[in-house]
Amino acid sequence: MLLREGNRLTLLETGAAYFPALEAAIAGARHEVYLETYIFADDAAGRRIARALAEAAAQGVRAHVLVDGMTVKRYSGALLERLLAAGVSLGIYRPDISPFDLRRVRLRRLHRKLAVVDGRVAFVGGINVIDDLHTPGHRPPRYDFAVRVEGPLVADIRAEADRLWRLVALSNFRQWRAAPPPPVAPQPAGFQRAGFLVRDNFRHRSDIEDAYLDAIANANEEIVIASAYFFPGVAFRRALTAAARRGVRVVILLQKRVEYALLHYASRALYGQLLDGGVQLHEYETSFLHAKVAVVDGSWATVGSSNIDPLSLFLSREANVVIEDRRFAQTLRERLVERIAAGAVPVSRPRWRRKPLRMRVRIWIAYGVVRLLVGWFGYASRQFGDV
């Protein structure tokens, strides 16, 4: 992983901080905008960002929007057509096909959420272009993070966004031309050291997982992870329990509310092993947890789109920023600790061992189905092992 010096990174918590920052950056665009998102919803947040993109395009800005094909019909409505009419270039990553198609390629989704404006400012995180309160009865807002990036790292993010845009254009037999480079290369904007990681199915199949495993292996004091969907392979679980055995405080914040039942219950099959290994588990119950972040020893942090589950680690396109800066890491840690204290419940070993039989049945059925699906889609059993 290549770490760049001289960056300024700003942590953005939930859409309340992210959308105004993204909107302002697009409003200030003079040359180009790249926006990638899994969901671009036709709701208040989506229309707000769409309006900014349309206004930028009207001023001659080359605006590129890339959306995952599996979510378009469900969330986007006529919003994307309005973007096209306004002069925004639109790409659909792997348009969804029949729900009965069980080929592995169908699950290779564009899950990353990033934006780059004029090659001078970028955003990377887990926040889709959808209102935090989109889900009916969803109070308070969905809990998630993004990071605003200025400095030399922006060039790496812009290069990846442009590369994928051209790849999607070619795969859909559309004409493309290489976008000219930004007029000014990003200059140092601060004093933070950071790197940009992607997960794809070519050269970067395990970069994000490897960064996690390296940080966990080198931890001396504390590991704090928040992951909306958590179903790690055996290597990841062993790394966490090995860290706990050598005296590292390992804290994982997971989602208590049921959003996707199969993965929700399957992930609980791993609780016993983690708790027996000394890992502290907390379930966030205040709202839906959508964060994918971590802090190690108060000096290493990552913010991005990658969950710790098979879809993120072995199938989807993901993007994370890794930051080696104590001030940033401490800020993220403080936010997580506050949320754990105010909105989460600890999972104790005795109570977990006494869970009702009906819960045990749900867990083991879900776990068996997920293991079967993992095998069906062609992933080695060594990645997941036995509980």
Q: Does residue 20 lie in a domain region? A: yes
Between 13 and 374, residue with greater pLDDT = 13
Shared domain check, 283 and 176: no
Encode pLDDT of 333-369 as tens digits: 999 999 999 999 999 988 888 888 888 899 999 888 8
Q: Tell me which of 132, 156, 290, 309 is the catalytic residue.
A: 290
Residues 204 and 182 in one domain: no
Residue 376 in domain: yes
CA 259 – CA 271 distance, rounded (Å): 18
Q: Residue 168 above 70 pLDDT?
A: yes
- Domain membership flag for residue 129: yes
Same domain, 127 and 224: no
pLDDT at 178: 59
Residue 111 is among the residues annotated as catalytic for this protein: yes
pLDDT digits (tens, 9 = 90+) for 270-322: 999 999 999 999 999 998 999 999 999 999 999 999 999 988 888 899 999 99
355 a catalytic residue: no
Active site residue 297: yes
- Do residue 165 and residue 183 come from a single domain? yes
Q: Is the pLDDT of residue 387 over 70?
A: no
pLDDT digits (tens, 9 = 90+) for 84-110: 999 999 999 988 665 555 555 557 899
In the block, residue with structure tokens 């254009």:
169
Catalytically annotated residue among 113, 134, 264, 282: 113
Q: Looking at the structure, do residues 184 and 224 belong to the same domain, yes or no?
A: no
Residues 212 and 152 reside in one and the same domain: no
Domain span at residue 254 reads 200-383
Whether 348 is covered by a domain: the verdict is yes
CB 190 within 8 A of CB 8: yes
pLDDT at 152 over 70: yes
Domain shared by 204 and 149, yes or no: no
For 34-61, give one letter per residue: b (16+ CB within 10 A) or e: bbbbbbbbbbebbebbbbbbbebbeeeb
Q: Could you say which of 162, 282, 292, 325 is catalytic?
A: 292
Whether residue 137 is predicted with pLDDT greater than 70 in this model: the reply is no
pTM of the model: 0.93
Say what the pLDDT of residue 385 is.
Answer: 46
Q: Of 149, 165, 190, which residue is a domain's last?
A: 190
Which pLDDT value is given to residue 100? Answer: 54
Is 247 inside any structural domain? yes
Q: Is the pLDDT of residue 3 over 50?
A: yes
Q: Active-site residue 204, yes or no?
A: no
Q: Determine if residue 243 is left, alpha or beta; phi over 0 gives left, psi from -120 to 50 gives alpha, anything else beta.
A: alpha
- Residue 183 sits in the same domain as residue 209: no
Do 208 and 185 share a structural domain?
no
Q: Are residues 220 and 183 in the same domain?
A: no
CATH classification at residue 271: 3.30.870.10
- The pLDDT value recorded for residue 384 is 46
Q: Look at residue 195 and tell me if it is in a domain.
A: no
Q: Which of 131, 162, 200, 297 is catalytic?
A: 297
Q: What is the mean pLDDT of residues 157-185?
A: 79
| Phi and psi, residue 360, nearest 5° | -60, -40
For residue 129 the two structure tokens come to 């272009």
- The pLDDT assigned to 116 comes to 98
Note whether residue 118 is domain-resident.
Answer: yes
Q: Catalytic annotation on 64?
A: no
Catalytic, out of 118, 132, 144, 200: 118
Tens digit of each residue's pLDDT (9 = 90 or more) over 218-263: 999 999 999 999 999 899 999 999 999 999 999 999 999 888 888 8
* pLDDT above 80 for 119: yes
Strand boundaries in the chain, DSSP class E = 4-13, 32-37, 62-68, 89-93, 113-117, 121-125, 145-150, 192-199, 222-227, 249-255, 280-284, 292-296, 300-304, 318-324, 344-347
- The reply to whether 182 and 325 lie within a common domain is no
Q: Are residues 207 and 324 in the same domain?
A: yes
| pLDDT tens-digit readout, 186-220 | 889 999 999 999 999 888 999 999 999 999 999 99
The HSE-up count of residue 67 (CA atoms within 13 Å, CB side) is 28
Nearest to 191 by CA among 150, 147, 145, 146: 150
Task: Assess contact for 132 and 141: CB atoms under 8 A.
Answer: yes
Candidates 31, 111, 134, 282; catalytic one: 111
Q: Which of 138, 162, 190 is the last residue of a domain?
A: 190
Domain endpoint, select from 132, 156, 190 = 190
Please report whether residue 74 resides in a domain. yes
Residue type, 138: H
User: How many independent structural domains does the chain possess?
Assistant: 2
